[in-house]
């Protein structure tokens, strides 16, 4: 495309590097910003720069944080004995939004995926193990590790690897339940999910 201005071309080029944004959408965004108040573009630029340069990762759980330790790890009301292992920050947000979990998290920062060249060494796995062994005695000992990974090939591989590493550490290992989603119709559930939900059926007490 022949952009009318080098400045636009540059902006379109940079915007279209974002995930899911093509050249046409990027151009629409650039023209939108041009029509709006200059302040909007400036505060967008500043927010992006500030986020990228100032965001830290929590030293304990590796979640995104404004400080050395994140708000969840420093919250005295959370249960330190249960740690939920997740792939990334979005999963923490998703679980937090349910308000059903009062423990802490451990963000792996990815998932084992040989196809994308991500191995165990690229993830925050060693720090999870040392987090467990360091606190093995005392009040703040970790008693349960919940694997909150997606039920995909990569998620299952990561879960398998983690259970192998976690077993010698003498903690209870659990995983979030797989089954028919609430409101889902049995008839339309896929066979694997339905099969698993029968095998790991829940006993009424």
Residues near a copy of itself, by CB under 8 A: 1-8, 10-11, 13-15, 17-20, 25, 27-34, 38, 40-55, 63-66, 70-72, 88-90, 92-93, 96-97
Shortest Å, Cβ 50 to a copy of itself:
6
DSSP strands (E only) in the chain: 56-57, 64-65, 79-86, 103-107, 144-147, 172-175
> How near is the Cβ of 62 to a copy of itself at its closest, in Å?
11
Query: Rounded to whole angstroms, how far apart are CA atoms 94 and 16?
Result: 27
Q: How far is the CB of 135 from a copy of itself (least distance, A)?
A: 22
In angstroms, what is the minimal distance from the CB of 47 to a copy of itself?
Answer: 4
CB 112 within 8 A of CB 154: yes
Looking at the Cβ atoms of 25 and 193, the one nearer to a copy of itself is: 25
Return the number of the residue (82 or 92) whose C-beta is nearest a copy of itself.
92
**How far is residue 152's CA from residue 116's CA, in Å, rounded to a whole number?**
15
Q: Which residue, 63 or 175, has its beta carbon nearer to a copy of itself?
A: 63
Q: Which is nearer to a copy of itself, 37 or 187 (CB)?
A: 37
- What does DSSP say about strands 144-147 and 103-107: parallel, antiparallel, or unpaired? unpaired
């Amino acid at each position: 495309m022949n952009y009318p201005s080098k400045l636009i071309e540059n902006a379109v080029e940079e915007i279209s590097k974002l995930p899911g944004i093509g050249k046409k959408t990027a151009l629409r965004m650039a023209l939108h910003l041009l029509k709006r108040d200059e302040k909007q573009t400036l505060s967008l630029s500043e927010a992006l720069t500030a986020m990228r340069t100032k965001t830290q990762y929590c030293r304990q759980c590796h979640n995104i944080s404004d400080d050395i330790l994140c708000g969840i790890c420093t919250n005295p009301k959370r249960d330190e004995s249960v740690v939920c292992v997740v792939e990334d920050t979005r999963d923490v947000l998703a679980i937090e939004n349910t308000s059903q979990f009062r423990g802490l998290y451990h963000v792996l920062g990815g998932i084992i995926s040989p196809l994308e060249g991500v191995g165990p060494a690229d993830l925050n796995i060693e720090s999870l193990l040392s987090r467990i062994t360091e606190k093995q005695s005392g009040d703040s000992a970790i008693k349960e590790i919940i694997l909150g990974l997606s039920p995909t090939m990569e998620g299952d591989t990561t879960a398998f690897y983690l259970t192998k590493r976690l077993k010698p550490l003498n903690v209870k290992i659990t995983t979030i339940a797989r089954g028919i989603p609430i409101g889902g119709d049995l008839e339309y559930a896929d066979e694997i999910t339905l099969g698993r939900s029968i095998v790991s059926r829940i006993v009424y007490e």
